[in-house]
A = this chain, B = another copy of it.
């Protein structure tokens, strides 16, 4: 018997992955959480039928989400992650010795538990002494928090279900307030090839709140269209002008996607992406 997983990214197009077995499947309080063992992409976290991450290509997403803001900020000590339950973002953050404290607010404890059990390569740093986990609503958290973070990373699922509010004006205003006067927000912002309206709207909102907003992109095979965007929204630092290239070149940890070249290349946008965020 062959078992295949299909995800329709839009009604008439998607990807298919051959599945060896289902390792975990649970209807949590918020969503359906599954971990599947694929034939080609290693283990895969699926939420509400959508691929969140696979062991084979997660490195691109997590490295680009973390190292771009961290190597731009001159003194990133206190970091907030919203979402990110699989642990991949924390794993990359922990590599930076200058980071003193990582707080993660994840709404769904089941995602963390499943990841700890079945995705050790991603979740391995969720017990790090510099890491603090809050099981809770990121939207509420930024409402009641104050300006103490150097970098906030929005590692959310797609803007449907519990993550929908994470792309709203109120939320981004609160994120702004939670950042120090020189803070940086980085957020995953869907595919510029398909989600044009989401991107237009999100960047319009961000530009009204942050003085500097840039889109950067990376190819991610298992995400819709295989082309992904990230927002770099900042109070002070520019990801190209303030990029600490020497620190990036001197880094003591290995990467598979990120390096000092791709840090800059990711901001060199194709024409249709430029037009989207103009």
Contact = CB atoms under 8 A, between A and B. Distances in A.
Given A57-B193, A226-B227, A261-B274, 19 more contacts: A11-B40, A12-B18, A12-B38, A13-B39, A13-B41, A14-B15, A14-B16, A15-B16, A193-B221, A217-B219, A218-B270, A219-B225, A219-B227, A225-B226, A226-B226, A256-B271, A257-B272, A262-B269, A265-B266
Contact of A40 (B12, B221, B256): B12
A159 to B, nearest CB: 20
Contact of A15 (B15, B60, B193, B259): B15
B274 A269 contact: no
Contacts of A168: none
Interface in A72-116: none
A255 interface: yes
A173 interface: no
A17 interface: yes
A38 B10 CA distance: 12
A197 to B, nearest CB: 16
Select the residue from A38, A39, A261, A268 with max chain B CB neighbours within 10 A. A268
A169 interface: no
Interface of A: 6, 8, 10-18, 38-41, 57, 60, 193, 217-221, 225-227, 255-259, 261-262, 264-272, 274
Given A12-B40, A15-B14, A193-B221, A262 B270 contact: yes
A164 to B, nearest CB: 24
A12 to B, nearest CB: 3
What 7 pairs across the A-B complex have the smallest Cβ distances? A226-B226, A265-B268, A12-B39, A12-B18, A219-B219, A261-B268, A265-B265
A270 to B, nearest CB: 4
A6 to B, nearest CB: 6
A14 B18 CA distance: 9
A95 to B, nearest CB: 14
Which interface residue of A16, A39, A193, A274 has the most chain B CB atoms within 10 A? A16
A266 B204 CA distance: 27
Nearest to A2: B12
A49 to B, nearest CB: 14
Nearest to A265: B268
A40 B270 contact: no
Contacts of A16: 6, 8, 13-16
A35 to B, nearest CB: 17
A97 to B, nearest CB: 20
Residue of A17, A60, A227, A255 most packed against chain B (CB within 10 A): A227
A269 B258 CA distance: 9
